[in-house]
Amino acid sequence: MINRAEAVLEAVSIHKIGVKAADEDIKLSSSPIAIQDSELEDLLLKYMIDGYKEPEYYKFTFSTGDVALNPLYNFVGNVFDNEAYLHEQSVNIARHLYESSNHPNIKAGDLMVAFVKDVLIDDELVNAIAIIKSENKDAFLKLDLEGGSYQINFDDGINTDKLDKACLIFDTEREEGYKVCIIDRSNKNNDAIYWKEDFLNLAAREDNYYATTQYIQATKSFIKERLPFEEDADKRDEAEILHRSKTYLKSAETFDKEEYTKTVFGEEERQASFTNFCDDFMQEKNVQLKDNFEVSESAVRKQTKYFRSVIKLDKNFHIYAHGDKSLMEKGTDSDGKKYYKLFYETES
């Protein structure tokens, strides 16, 4: 949870980042922007912080394993040591972003770098650096009353409810690579994932959020990739496993691998199959599945909202199954037509 109730915007610098693939240059501003209007400050803080509803935290890393070689890690560290260096380091950040922008799909945009004091995260009040690249502009209508009549004009500007690419770096856990959360909504097709990988060079933090997410992903992958091929399982079995997993994760404060496996998968053969699958999952995905950890409520909310199984029957019906296999009966009638029989108590 990120709270900006006590946050103060100390400094902001803005630069123009051209398209490197089109030989467009960068345009660097000569000085930071003075923010003297309280309403403008509040609007900027909203723009910089409020988009991270349930953030997943990352950390700076580097290919050699030495985070001190990551340019962004050093740039922001200099600012945290002395906020007077914000503009100087924002120029370095702009140049580094430009050099990292080699993919042909990358757009030009305005880069904003800001220093924010007293942001509350996880019950800790810390300073933060916001880095935002705005690639898209929206058209806004302007209504002007002149001499008793309205005039309608329009202008292009940044929608403060939409972040294209952004990150927040918090001045905590420096030796581990800081706490960082990111947004990248403009490249969902993964054609240009330079923001996270080339520019920021981030890795997932192996915290409770990470641990919870990995087990949810492993469970979904097991249902899709292993379960249908090892036994005569159908959509009812998938729905029941998903339901048990969601129920366990929502009710348990502490995750226990053995307890989870027994509760969710039931039969010993299925338990053993899931355990073996987890070993393969860790090796293939290069992740770790911990045996015990505190369940992250935010990870459960984010990941399990898609925990549902849809049984598609030709082009006529979809059954949204939420578990309890005993309430669905599958069969074939005397004419060879397949059917599902559903048992329920109330209709809404």
What is the tens place of the pLDDT at every residue in 221-265?
Answer: 998 888 888 766 777 788 888 889 999 999 999 999 999 999 999
User: Which two three-digit tokens encode residue 288?
Assistant: 């770790």
DSSP string, 97-136: HHHH--STTPPPEEEEEEEEEEEEETTEEEEEEEEEEE--
pLDDT of residue 229: 82
Say what the pLDDT of residue 114 is. 97
Which tens digits make up the pLDDT trace of 131-170? 999 988 888 888 888 888 888 988 888 888 888 899 999 9
pLDDT of res. 188: 56
Q: How far apart are CA 288 and CA 279, in angstroms?
A: 9
| Biggest alpha carbon–alpha carbon distance for the chain | 82
Nearest to 291 by CA among 283, 302, 282: 282
Residue 87 amino acid letter = H
Per DSSP, helices labelled H in the chain are: 38-49, 71-81, 86-100, 194, 208-225, 227-230, 235-251, 257-265, 268-285, 297-304
pLDDT tens series, the chain, 348 aa: 799 999 999 999 999 999 888 889 999 999 999 888 999 999 999 999 999 987 889 999 998 989 999 999 999 999 999 999 999 999 999 999 999 988 888 889 999 999 999 999 988 899 999 999 998 888 888 888 888 888 898 888 888 888 889 999 999 999 999 999 999 876 555 445 889 999 999 998 889 999 999 999 999 999 888 888 876 677 778 888 888 999 999 999 999 999 999 999 988 999 999 999 999 999 998 888 999 999 998 889 887 776 666 677 877 777 776 666 677 777 888 888 888 788 878 877
Q: Are 65 and 11 in contact (CB under 8 A)?
A: no
Angle, vertex CA 56, rays to CA 192 and CA 189, nearest 5: 25
Looking at residue 284, what is its pLDDT? 92
